Every structure is written in C-alpha cells, then in structure tokens.
C-alpha cells in the first residue's frame, strides 16, 4: 500500500464509481517503488473514453491536453492529473508520434506499448501493483530495459534513446545489454528528432548524478546529436597537467561541476577547441593555445542549433571562452569580472574553474586554493555593495549634462568613471568622479581623447594570458 495524495484517491474513486477502471501509472509508480522523496506528478490510465472522463469530472476545471490521444487533464484542488484512456498506438511514420491511437478496454495492451519496464507498471489502492513486464525487479536491480523489442521501441520514437540515457544518468540505473546495444545500433534515428527535444533531454541528462558514466558508455549516441564532441574521443593531451584524454577529462569536469544546467553545459563544451588547437613543443609536450576562443565558437554553434535562448547561450559561451584564463584573487581583477559577467556569472566561472581543475592531474590541486581566495574576494565585494556597473556609479547621465556634455560624450565619460572605480584609482563618490570629469573636460572632452582602451567592455585584465593546458 502506497500513500497517494487525496486528490489521486478521489479521482480513482470517482472513475470507479462511474463503472470505469482506473490506475496510477508510469513514473509515479516507479518513484513510489523507489521510495525516493515526495511524488508530485501523477498520471492515471483508465478504461473511460475521453468524453466519459470529462463527464465524470464535469465539476472540475478540465484541460483538453491531448484528446486525440485520449488525454484529459483534471485540476483537482490545485493538483493537475493527466488521465488517459487505455490505448494501443498505431504506426509511427515520423519516428516520434503515433499516426493514430486505438482505445482498448485492456490495461494489459496499454502497458505493453510503453517505453521501459520501470515505466510500465500500474497501481490501484485495492488491487495493488500490476507489473506484467518485470518493472519491479528492474527498479530493485537499478536496470533500464525496454518493454519488448528495444529496436521496435526506439523506431517508434527515437527520442526514447535519449530518455533512456537520461533515466540512467538521473536515477543512477544501468542500461540492460540488449537495450544498450539497440541504443548504439539505432542512433541515426536521432537525426529526425526536433532540436528542442534533444536540448531538453540532454540538459536533464547532464544534470544527472551519473552523467559522465552514461556519456562515456554511450559516446557514439551522444556524438550523433553533438558531432563536435567526436574529435575529443581518445585525444591524448600529452601534457603533465592532464592524466586523461580530452573526452574523459571533459566527463570528469561535468561530474565535478554543480548540477546546474549552465555549468554542466559549459563543462561539456569547454575543451571542444583542444583538438584543432593542439601543438607540440620541442620537448614533445602538448599545448592548446587559444583553445578557449575556439571552444567558445564551437559551443555557440551547438547552442544555436539546439535553440537555446539568447541569455543562456550568452552565459555558457562566456564561461567557455574564459575557462582557461587565470582568475587573479585580487580586488581589481575580480571587480572586472563582475563588470563583465555579473555576480552570478563570476561565481559560475569560479565553479567551472574548480571543476576543470578537479578533472586534471594532481598538479592542478594547488589551483583550488587560489579559487578559494577569489571566491572570498567576490564575497567581500558583494557584501560591500561594490560598484561594477555604470548604473551603480555615484554619478549619472544627468550629472554629465549639467557639466555640459552631450551625445556620445556622456557615455564616454561614464565609461572612464567606471574604469577609475574598477581599477580602484578613485572611490565611487560623486565629488571625486565629477572632479575627474572636470579635469578631463578642459580641452579634451570634445574629441574623447581621454578615453583609453582599458575601459571595461573592451578588455579584461587576463586578456592574452591564454593557458596552454
């Protein structure tokens, strides 16, 4: 007997009272068996046709989420319940959705169409667990296995291959041998899957506890949707800072990074540029000059292809571009990073550096203490309310107008004020900044000659310090 929310019990009871069979099905049953935390997402399957389901729940808010596939969503006391009629899927001519469905009175037929055994169980408070495909045993064994023929399951819906890998990464399960072989054999089916769907599954996979192991075990499948990673497979770095090839280093960095989508994607993509940037010195030591920039270029292409939103793409690309540049644990360099990346981006960059270092040889261990100091500097600056953007300056555009500046001169003057504050040559105080502008105003304002190339936005203090590792 499993504890079900009162809304679920009520829905089952209402369907039963109307003469219909009804069961909790799918992921909710799996998670109840695992006993891992609170289950909040419940799907029901029923012998009731969609129109009958709507009649039973006519007093509740209904959302017709998929009537042609037999699904009605019922909102019961704030809990959405997806209720789907027992069905048999037709052919999958597009490799993603059934061309049609046939409703069936048979729960058994409904369960046999599902993807994996761990998702093909049903539960009723009085009848107990209905497990026709060994799902309970597979949950206990931590095993992912297709229902029936794995090739057929994947041909029906190619996205199931990434779902399989995602479940393995998130749940910590192993993929059964026949299912795993079918994954590799059928991987070309992924070419027809919408990029947005691929992005969502890969993101969930990357944030899983066992992402690195799954990606290593099924690297050919990952390369089917991310062909840019293939050159890193087995690529010997020939550098004392690295005791792994590029691909295994990448996977170790993914596992070491916090389970945040931006950081996990940045870790996966951070060294894509190493193979094309590889050089050997006269001692036979490998170097990867400017690989951060090349990795950022490749990352941008991937993220655009997968239809990432602009802000997320910008954040990931910035992290990849800067991952090989040293973070100097001092106020001025950290303030410049704040100006470039903001508080969240700066903290993310430190976290990415930690993960990158953790995935290197023991030589990199000493770098972690520098990152501790950088984090401490960041924390102090934020606690002080330090200025790192023009909007935080003690002066603004109105002050510049009162000094007689016009047009682009205003922005140039504020840039210079920010540069003075970031370099800590001046405090962020109105009087000091206005005096700076007045001094520059005498004879030099009109031409903008006082503007130098060290204004933030044009460069970083670490510019040109590209790591060879």
Residue burial 69-86, b: 16+ Cβ < 10 Å; e: rest: ebbbbbebeebebbbbbb
Output the pLDDT for position 93: 55
Structural domain span for residue 216? 142-225
In a domain, residue 39? The reply is yes
Q: β-strand 121-124 against 22-25: which pairing, if any?
A: antiparallel
**Gyration radius of the chain over CA positions:** 29
Statement to judge: residues 206 and 153 lie in one domain: yes
Statement to judge: residues 157 and 181 lie in one domain: yes
The Cα 457–Cα 418 span in angstroms is: 11
Statement to judge: residues 432 and 330 lie in one domain: no
Domain count across the chain: 4
In a domain, residue 55? The reply is yes
Residue 121 has φ and ψ, to the nearest 5°, of -115, 155
**410 membership: H or E segment, kind and range:** helix 408-422
Question: pLDDT 10s digit of each residue in the chain, 469 long?
Answer: 688 999 999 999 999 999 999 999 999 999 999 987 788 899 999 999 999 999 999 999 998 776 777 899 999 999 999 999 999 865 555 555 555 678 999 999 999 999 999 999 999 999 999 999 999 999 999 999 999 999 999 999 999 999 999 999 999 999 999 999 999 999 999 999 999 999 999 999 999 999 999 999 999 999 999 999 999 999 999 999 999 999 999 999 999 999 999 999 999 999 999 999 999 999 999 999 999 999 999 999 999 999 999 999 999 999 999 999 999 999 999 999 999 999 999 999 999 999 999 999 999 988 999 999 999 999 999 999 999 999 999 999 999 999 989 899 899 999 999 999 999 999 999 999 999 998 887 654 444 444 333 333 333 333 333 344 5
Q: pTM for the whole thing? A: 0.87
CATH number of the domain to which 379 belongs: 1.10.3210
In a domain, residue 127? The reply is yes
Statement to judge: residues 219 and 239 lie in one domain: no
Statement to judge: residues 348 and 462 lie in one domain: no
Question: Per-residue pLDDT tens for 29-40?
Answer: 999 999 877 888
CATH number of the domain to which 120 belongs: 3.30.460.10
Question: Per-residue pLDDT tens for 215-263?
Answer: 999 999 999 999 999 999 999 999 999 999 999 999 999 999 999 999 9
Statement to judge: residues 208 and 260 lie in one domain: no
In a domain, residue 338? The reply is yes
Statement to judge: residues 379 and 402 lie in one domain: no
Spatial CB neighbours of 171, under 8 Å, sequence gap ≥ 6: 34, 142, 144, 208
DSSP code for 173:
P
- Residue 279 burial by Cβ neighbours in a 10 Å radius (0-12, 13-18, 19+): exposed
Classify 316 as helix, strand or coil: helix
In a domain, residue 241? The reply is yes
Residue with structure tokens 């999958």?
Answer: 92
Output the pLDDT for position 7: 96
The Cα 407–Cα 396 span in angstroms is: 14
Statement to judge: residues 320 and 174 lie in one domain: no
In a domain, residue 1? The reply is no
Token reading at 93: 């001519």
Q: Domain boundary residue among 386, 420, 452?
A: 386
In a domain, residue 408? The reply is yes
Residue 206 has φ and ψ, to the nearest 5°, of -60, -30
Residues pairing with 102 in the sheet: 88
The length of the chain, given as a count of residues:
469
Spatial CB neighbours of 459, under 8 Å, sequence gap ≥ 6: 453
Statement to judge: residues 348 and 406 lie in one domain: no
Nearest to 129 by CA among 7, 33, 14, 12: 33
CA distances (Å), origin 195, targets 99, 158, 198, 199, 320: 21, 12, 5, 6, 22
Output the pLDDT for position 83: 95
Neighbours of 391 (CB within 10 A): 9
Output the pLDDT for position 90: 56
Largest CA distance in the chain: 91
CB 105 within 8 A of CB 47: yes
CATH number of the domain to which 150 belongs: 1.10.110.30
Q: β-strand 143-144 against 174-175: which pairing, if any?
A: parallel
Q: Domain boundary residue among 333, 354, 386?
A: 386
Residue 459 sits at the vertex; the CA angle it makes with 295 and 457, to the nearest 5 degrees, is: 100
Classify 326 as helix, strand or coil: coil
Q: Domain boundary residue among 165, 194, 225?
A: 225
In a domain, residue 396? The reply is yes
Statement to judge: residues 216 and 248 lie in one domain: no
Statement to judge: residues 196 and 252 lie in one domain: no
Within 61-193, strands assigned E span 61-66, 71-76, 79-85, 87-89, 101-103, 121-124, 128-131, 143-144, 174-175
Question: Per-residue pLDDT tens for 154-209?
Answer: 999 999 999 999 999 999 999 999 999 999 999 999 999 999 999 999 999 999 99
Nearest to 359 by CA among 212, 215, 226, 168: 212
Statement to judge: residues 195 and 151 lie in one domain: yes
Nearest to 46 by CA among 81, 85, 72: 85
Residue 89 has φ and ψ, to the nearest 5°, of -80, 145
Token reading at 171: 């749940």
């Amino acid at each position: 007997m499993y504890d079900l929310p009162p809304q679920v019990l009520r829905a089952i009871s209402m369907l039963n009272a109307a003469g219909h069979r009804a069961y909790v099905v799918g992921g909710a049953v799996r998670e109840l068996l695992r006993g891992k935390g609170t289950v909040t997402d419940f799907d029901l399957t029923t012998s009731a046709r969609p129109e009958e389901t709507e009649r039973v729940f006519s007093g509740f808010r209904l959302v017709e989420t998929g009537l042609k596939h037999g699904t009605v969503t019922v909102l019961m006391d704030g809990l959405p319940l997806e209720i789907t009629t027992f069905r048999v899927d037709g052919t999958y001519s597009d490799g993603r959705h059934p061309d049609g469905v046939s409703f069936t009175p048979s729960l058994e037929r409904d369960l046999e169409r599902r993807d994996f055994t761990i998702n093909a169980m049903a539960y009723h408070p009085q009848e107990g667990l209905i497990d026709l495909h060994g799902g309970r045993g597979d949950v206990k064994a931590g095993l992912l296995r297709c229902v029936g023929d794995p090739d057929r399951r994947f041909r029906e819906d190619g996205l199931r291959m990434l779902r399989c890998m995602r479940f393995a990464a998130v749940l910590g399960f192993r993929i059964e041998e026949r299912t795993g072989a079918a994954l590799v054999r059928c991987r070309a089916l992924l070419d027809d899957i919408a990029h947005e769907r691929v992005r969502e599954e890969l993101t969930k996979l990357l944030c899983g506890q066992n992402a690195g192991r799954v990606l290593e075990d099924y690297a050919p499948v990952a390369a089917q949707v991310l062909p840019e990673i293939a050159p890193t497979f087995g690529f010997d770095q020939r550098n004392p800072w690295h005791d792994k090839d590029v691909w295994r280093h990448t996977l170790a960095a993914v596992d070491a990074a916090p389970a945040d989508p931006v950081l996990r994607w940045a870790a996966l993509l951070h060294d894509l540029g190493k193979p094309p940037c590889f050089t050997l010195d006269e001692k036979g030591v490998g170097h990867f000059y400017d690989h951060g920039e090349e990795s950022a270029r490749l990352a941008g292409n991937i993220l655009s292809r997968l239809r990432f939103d602009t802000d997320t793409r910008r954040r990931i690309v910035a992290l990849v571009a800067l991952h090989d540049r040293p973070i100097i644990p001092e106020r001025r360099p950290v303030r410049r990073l704040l100006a470039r990346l903001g508080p969240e981006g700066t903290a993310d960059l430190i976290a990415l550096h930690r993960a990158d270092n953790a995935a290197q040889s023991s030589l990199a261990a000493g770098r972690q203490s520098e990152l501790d100091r950088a984090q401490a500097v960041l924390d102090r600056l934020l606690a002080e309310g330090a200025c790192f953007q023009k909007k935080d300056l003690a002066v603004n555009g109105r002050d510049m107008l009162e000094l007689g500046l016009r047009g682009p001169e205003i922005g140039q003057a504020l840039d210079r004020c920010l540069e003075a504050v970031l370099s800590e040559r001046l405090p962020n105080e109105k009087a000091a900044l206005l005096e700076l502008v007045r001094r520059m105003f005498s004879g030099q304002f009109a031409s903008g000659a006082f503007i130098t190339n060290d204004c933030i936005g044009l460069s970083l203090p670490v510019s040109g310090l590209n790591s060879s590792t």
